[in-house]
Structure 1
Amino acid sequence: MKERRDWNQMRDSIIGLGEESSRRTYYPELLARVTQLEAAQESLRQSEANLRVLFNSLHDAVIVHDFEGRVLEVNDAMLAMYGVDQKSCRTYNLMDYSAPSVGDQGLEAKFHEIWSTLRSEGHALFRWKARRPLSPGLDFDVEVSLRQAFWFGQEAVVAVVRDISERLRLEAMLHQAQKLDSLGQLAGGVAHDTNNMLGVIIGYTDLLLEDAPAATPLANDLEQIRKAALHSADLTRQLLAFARKQPINPQVVDLNVLVESTHKMLRRLIGEQHALVWKPSTTLWSVWIDPSQVDQIVTNLAVNARDALGSGGTITLETANVQVDETYAHQHPDAKPGDYVVLTVTDDGHGMTPEVQARIFDPFFTTKGLGRGTGLGLATVYGIVRQNEGFISVYSALGEGTTFRIHLPKHLGENPGAQEAEVALKGGKETLLLVEDEEALLELAQRILEGAGYRVMSSSRPIEALHLMETNSEPIALLVTDLIMPGLNGSELYQRIHASRPEVRPLFLSGYPADTITLQELSEKRAGFLQKPFTRPALLAKVREILDA
């Protein structure tokens, strides 16, 4: 009040004294006060500008709105997030910025429920499906934090909105990786025990087939047993491929050559009612991959495409060189920037819904009828591609078909040379040390090797095998050992033997080697590897190959 009275007195005095006298008497004070007022106004403008800078520097969107859903103020992050500008943002209300998964009336009721909670508790935090008003089909997930406030004297709500789409994608990837790891643990146990038993079945069947007269009911029955056992082994390998635990023998390959070699098989596989189109790139980079894995990729994708076509349609296979940049890699979390060879498999079938697309790589997930699929085909493809440092992109829509693009890294090194010549199936007279903790498989392998002329020292326990080595002075040409055993694993057993007898070469047997030994270690140890379950010819050929190397 004192300040206002002083100003009134100054006004009256100025009028009474006249211009000249009032200028001399009050002008200095008036100027000082006007200067103070201008300084205060400038300070207020600076403060407001600073607050605006802070407001617009926030990464999260901020929306100030009333309890009717009308927008009062927004920051720059909100404009970018929702695709609007300062002029248009207030023409929309909160309903326009939300994706109505429960209909407009249900959405309005949901707003009132949230605001009721906000009034009673003073704050609220929840997830929401947001929408860009100018791009209705591009909904996205957000996390919203609400606080009750007053805005220019009226009751209002301050909403801080965070786009969590990327976080949810990464969480989904983590969930997928965890499922992959869990299945890997399961696959490892299944592969180790099941492959041992399958090896016994296949091995003894091979021995019986040698003695069975050809073209007899007995020989036919034995062939059926062998065929069923090998099919079971293929299922185990599919589990391992999905879990990225499958033993592999990568080589430098031309994808065009490998896909071309499967053409006749694919023609029979998809049937005459479907067209198969092959479009190889004229200049294609090499890739580093096990050729058998390419067969698995092509076969599984072709079968998947065939089943999507129904009574007729076209399957197209293409190859190309592609450079993946940072922008594309950011949009596809599995991808890394670099050069890739891309195998594309496209069908013009019925396509997939987004819900199905989200699960196509899940193990045992299938949309096929009972008995028509294991649900491991695409899971196998996923595991193989990831094992080889690649990634997959999928494009599909109902009624528009499906496209799978398999990206495999361009090979930058030289080809160390794959073993192409088949090793003759023959035996020998050398002494071998055989170690296998599964008694039935130990007995079978010993019988096969001794039947081929080798002298075999065998043991089911690694420690006992070391004792055999120490108490026997005769030269041992080869250690044939299981990789996964109690006490000492096969790699550790070889290290102990190598310390005293460096001339001994190892041949490791396993259906699940990934957590025990790597390809690099196999190379460093000059070791051989034979995947379980193995056949009699495969065992004899691998033993002879290592001894003759």
Structure 2
Amino acid sequence: MQDRKVIFSRIQDITEHVKSEKKLRELEKRFRIAFHTSPDAISITKMNGNYVEVNEGFTRLTGYTRKDVIGRSSLDINVWNNPKDRKTLVEGLLKSRQVVNLEADFRMKDGAIKTGLMSANLIHLQGEPHILSITRDITARKKAEEENAKLEAQLRQVYKMEAIGTMAGGIAHDFNNILTIILGNADLAKYVMKEEGPARQYVDKILEASGRAKEMVRQILAFSRQAKLSFVPIKPHMVFTETLKLLRSTIPSSIDIQQEINTLCRAINADPTQLNQVLMNLCANAVHAMDEKGTLTVALQEVQLGQKGTRHKANLQPGFYALLTVADTGKGISPEVKERIFDPFFTTKKVGEGTGMGLSVVHGIVENHGGKISVESTPGKGTTFSIYFPIVEEASAASKDIGKPQYKGDEHILFVDDEEALVELAAEMLQLYGYKVTCKTSSTEALEAFRTAPANFDLVITDQTMPEMSGSELSKQLLNIRPDIPIILCTGYSAKISAEIAEKIGIADYFLKPFDTEKLLRSVRKVLDGME
């Protein structure tokens, strides 16, 4: 063996190793393709945030080039809009090595803020931990979700208003029946009191309070868009003074209310209920702006536009206007918000604090009255709303002295209403003035009584909403029996009848409850005298 040369050889099967390396190179190739072609933003960073690699999706999304970011920290270039989000990411990776669907806002190179949905894994490169993250831009999706949420909120508000409207109609009908009984009995009490005294003053107070309750019902119906607008020449100070009385009891005592109401301001053509709503809404906004502490100033004056320095304020034609101003000492309105305050559903209030409809409704009412509204505000100092209503000619607003109406008569009246107390009241009202009255609390019984002796009656007064047969249906049946019978239809509230519909049926007069003695008798004489 010493003189021989020996060759040792070793053969090792590395087939699997070659296959593994080939497979690894294939996987690396696939990873690089996926990494660089993905539309999402993919990055590899060290644990301190320094970028090691980014793909084209990253550069497209952020606006940064590879040169801008490689070797620099995400915190250095201020990519995270809220650095706490990166802290959340790192803590999640250290705890479970993976974070899924972390939603965060990112700042682009141009300063724009975009929302991203990030998922990340903790990986090791050359023995050092790194973060592999994939971020998808969901800015458009988030905006769409916010818009959908806003639309859903608006839709809920519409449904809510419809529900309020339905409820308001039911409340109005029942409440107006009750008010008719109160007003009527107070009228009768006053009628039998021959002398002035404390008792008569008490009755006057009842009538005054009932009149205010009547207006409150109108306001409820107007808010739910079910009351027909009634534009009449009216002295605005009368409406605003009453509204301020009501507001004083609802506004916190920490708010100092300053009134500067000029009672000499001439009349405007307006719906009293909507004027009330304008002032209520503006004052409610002012109280909210002041956080229930400050000074609220409500002023009314007559101004002449067209003089120097006045016309441009509200872009109105020259002339005389009633100017209502509502000023607060609140936080004011920023220029950006000021441009949108009259938009429907726009609000800066928190959820549950407002619908965004108050100022939009005010704007609509003012425009419907031929007026204009403007706003001046300084952030931190307060806001002033100015509303201009055109003055009408004094002749239009002047009350006509038509003399004391003559309400007495001896005609036979059939009175129909399912409210027994109201029927008894109406009978007493009419009988006091000489009328013969037949009362029925059932519309079918009333129809039978009329069918038995149609010539016995000179007039029929019927309610609209009754259980067996509505007043309008009863009227049609009565007119089929006797086409010349005059009919008065009254209602607390009904969505199915109006003055126009009543006229088409052939009903002679139509009015809304509540009614007092004068209102009822005036209608009776108007119809009967018109039939002569």
Return the TM-score normalized by structure 2.
0.58
Partner of residue 223, structure 1: 204
For 2:384 and 2:120, locate their aligned partners in 1 and report how far apart those are by CA, in whole Å: 49
2:147 aligned with 1:170: no
Is there any run of 5+ residues in structure 2 with no aligned partner, and where? 1-36, 122-131, 246-255, 304-312, 334-346, 390-395
Q: Indicate conservation of the 8 Å contact 1:433/1:480, yes or no.
A: yes
1:480 match: secondary structure: strand
* Equivalent position to 1:516, from 491, 496, 499: 496
* Equivalent position to 2:236, from 262, 267, 276: 262
Q: Is the deviation greater in 204-213 or in 424-433?
A: 424-433
2:451 aligned with 1:470: yes
Pairing 1:174-213 to 2, within 5 Å after superposition: 174-213=155-194
Partner of residue 349, structure 1: 329
Q: Give the drift of 1:201.
A: 1.5
* Equivalent position to 1:64, from 41, 53, 60: 41
Deviations 1:317-347 (A, max 9, x none): 899579xxxxxxxxxxxxxxxxxx9998542
Instruction: Summarize the Cα distance change of 1:355–1:495 in structure 2 as closer, same or farther, 3 Å threshold.
Output: same
Q: Give the drift of 1:382.
A: 6.5
For 2:91 and 2:409, locate their aligned partners in 1 and report how far apart those are by CA, in whole Å: 83
Partner of residue 494, structure 1: 475
Instruction: Summarize the Cα distance change of 1:403–1:313 in structure 2 as closer, same or farther, 3 Å threshold.
Output: closer
Q: Indicate conservation of the 8 Å contact 1:425/1:540, yes or no.
A: no
Instruction: Summarize the Cα distance change of 1:486–1:216 in structure 2 as closer, same or farther, 3 Å threshold.
Output: same
For 1:93 and 1:342, locate their aligned partners in 2 and report how far apart those are by CA, in whole Å: 61
Q: Is the deviation greater in 487-496 or in 292-301?
A: 292-301
2:462 match: secondary structure: strand
2:123 aligned with 1:158: no
Partner of residue 283, structure 1: none
For 2:260 and 2:107, locate their aligned partners in 1 and report how far apart those are by CA, in whole Å: 42
2:207 match: secondary structure: helix
Q: Give the drift of 1:505.
A: 4.2
For 2:296 and 2:108, locate their aligned partners in 1 and report how far apart those are by CA, in whole Å: 40
Q: Give the drift of 1:467.
A: 1.1
Q: Give the drift of 1:433.
A: 2.7
* Equivalent position to 1:295, from 275, 292, 302: 275
Partner of residue 22, structure 2: none
Instruction: Summarize the Cα distance change of 1:469–1:215 in structure 2 as closer, same or farther, 3 Å threshold.
Output: same
Instruction: Summarize the Cα distance change of 1:277–1:424 in structure 2 as closer, same or farther, 3 Å threshold.
Output: closer
2:418 match: secondary structure: coil
For 2:425 and 2:109, locate their aligned partners in 1 and report how far apart those are by CA, in whole Å: 71
Instruction: Summarize the Cα distance change of 1:267–1:183 in structure 2 as closer, same or farther, 3 Å threshold.
Output: closer
Deviations 1:178-221 (A, max 9, x none): 22223223323322222222221111111001112443121122
Q: Kindly provide the amino acid, as one letter, of the partner of residue 208 in structure 2.
A: K
Instruction: Summarize the Cα distance change of 1:234–1:121 in structure 2 as closer, same or farther, 3 Å threshold.
Output: same
For 2:528 and 2:365, locate their aligned partners in 1 and report how far apart those are by CA, in whole Å: 34
For 1:114 and 1:464, locate their aligned partners in 2 and report how far apart those are by CA, in whole Å: 81
Partner of residue 429, structure 1: 410
Q: Kindly provide the amino acid, as one letter, of the partner of residue 134 in structure 2.
A: A
Partner of residue 414, structure 1: none
* Equivalent position to 1:531, from 512, 515, 529: 512
Larger radius of gyration: 2
Instruction: Summarize the Cα distance change of 1:267–1:245 in structure 2 as closer, same or farther, 3 Å threshold.
Output: closer
Q: Indicate conservation of the 8 Å contact 1:148/1:158, yes or no.
A: no
Q: Is the deviation greater in 308-317 or in 455-464?
A: 308-317
2:138 match: secondary structure: strand
Q: Kindly provide the amino acid, as one letter, of the partner of residue 516 in structure 1.
A: K
Deviations 1:255-306 (A, max 9, x none): xx75xx314764795999555699x9xxxxx9xx963334323553575588
1:533 match: secondary structure: coil
Q: Indicate conservation of the 8 Å contact 1:510/1:531, yes or no.
A: yes
Instruction: Summarize the Cα distance change of 1:117–1:546 in structure 2 as closer, same or farther, 3 Å threshold.
Output: farther
For 1:177 and 1:117, locate their aligned partners in 2 and report how far apart those are by CA, in whole Å: 48
Is there any run of 5+ residues in structure 1 with no aligned partner, and where? 1-51, 56-61, 281-285, 323-340, 364-376, 409-416
For 2:212 and 2:241, locate their aligned partners in 1 and report how far apart those are by CA, in whole Å: 22
Q: Kindly provide the amino acid, as one letter, of the partner of residue 414 in structure 2.
A: L
Q: Indicate conservation of the 8 Å contact 2:475/2:487, yes or no.
A: yes
Instruction: Summarize the Cα distance change of 1:177–1:516 in structure 2 as closer, same or farther, 3 Å threshold.
Output: same
Q: Is the deviation greater in 199-208 or in 65-74?
A: 65-74
Q: Kindly provide the amino acid, as one letter, of the partner of residue 203 in structure 1.
A: G
Pairing 1:336-485 to 2, within 5 Å after superposition: 346-351=326-331, 356=349, 385=365, 399-402=380-383, 424=405, 426-474=407-455, 476-485=457-466
For 2:363 and 2:410, locate their aligned partners in 1 and report how far apart those are by CA, in whole Å: 42
For 1:303 and 1:505, locate their aligned partners in 2 and report how far apart those are by CA, in whole Å: 47
For 1:403 and 1:460, locate their aligned partners in 2 and report how far apart those are by CA, in whole Å: 54
Q: Is the deviation greater in 163-172 or in 266-275?
A: 266-275
Q: Give the drift of 1:249.
A: 4.8
For 2:105 and 2:374, locate their aligned partners in 1 and report how far apart those are by CA, in whole Å: 25
For 1:277 and 1:99, locate their aligned partners in 2 and report how far apart those are by CA, in whole Å: 55
Q: Give the drift of 1:523.
A: 4.4
For 1:97 and 1:479, locate their aligned partners in 2 and report how far apart those are by CA, in whole Å: 81
Q: Give the drift of 1:530.
A: 2.4
Q: Give the drift of 1:394.
A: 8.8
Q: Indicate conservation of the 8 Å contact 1:97/1:132, yes or no.
A: yes
For 1:114 and 1:541, locate their aligned partners in 2 and report how far apart those are by CA, in whole Å: 82
Return the TM-score normalized by structure 1.
0.57
Q: Kindly provide the amino acid, as one letter, of the partner of residue 330 in structure 2.
A: H
Instruction: Summarize the Cα distance change of 1:532–1:359 in structure 2 as closer, same or farther, 3 Å threshold.
Output: farther
Alpha carbon RMSD of aligned pairs, Å? 5.8
Instruction: Summarize the Cα distance change of 1:433–1:305 in structure 2 as closer, same or farther, 3 Å threshold.
Output: same
Q: Percent identity?
A: 26
Q: Indicate conservation of the 8 Å contact 1:306/1:315, yes or no.
A: no
For 1:184 and 1:540, locate their aligned partners in 2 and report how far apart those are by CA, in whole Å: 31
Instruction: Summarize the Cα distance change of 1:66–1:131 in structure 2 as closer, same or farther, 3 Å threshold.
Output: closer
Q: Give the drift of 1:460.
A: 1.0
For 1:394 and 1:358, locate their aligned partners in 2 and report how far apart those are by CA, in whole Å: 25
Q: How many residues align?
A: 415
Q: Give the drift of 1:116.
A: 11
Q: Indicate conservation of the 8 Å contact 2:278/2:365, yes or no.
A: no
Q: Indicate conservation of the 8 Å contact 1:277/1:314, yes or no.
A: no
Q: Is the deviation greater in 159-168 or in 397-406?
A: 397-406
For 1:306 and 1:443, locate their aligned partners in 2 and report how far apart those are by CA, in whole Å: 48
Instruction: Summarize the Cα distance change of 1:505–1:304 in structure 2 as closer, same or farther, 3 Å threshold.
Output: farther
Q: Give the drift of 1:441.
A: 0.7
Deviations 1:99-154 (A, max 9, x none): 86xxx52x445667999999979768x8x889999889xx99x8x777889xxxx7
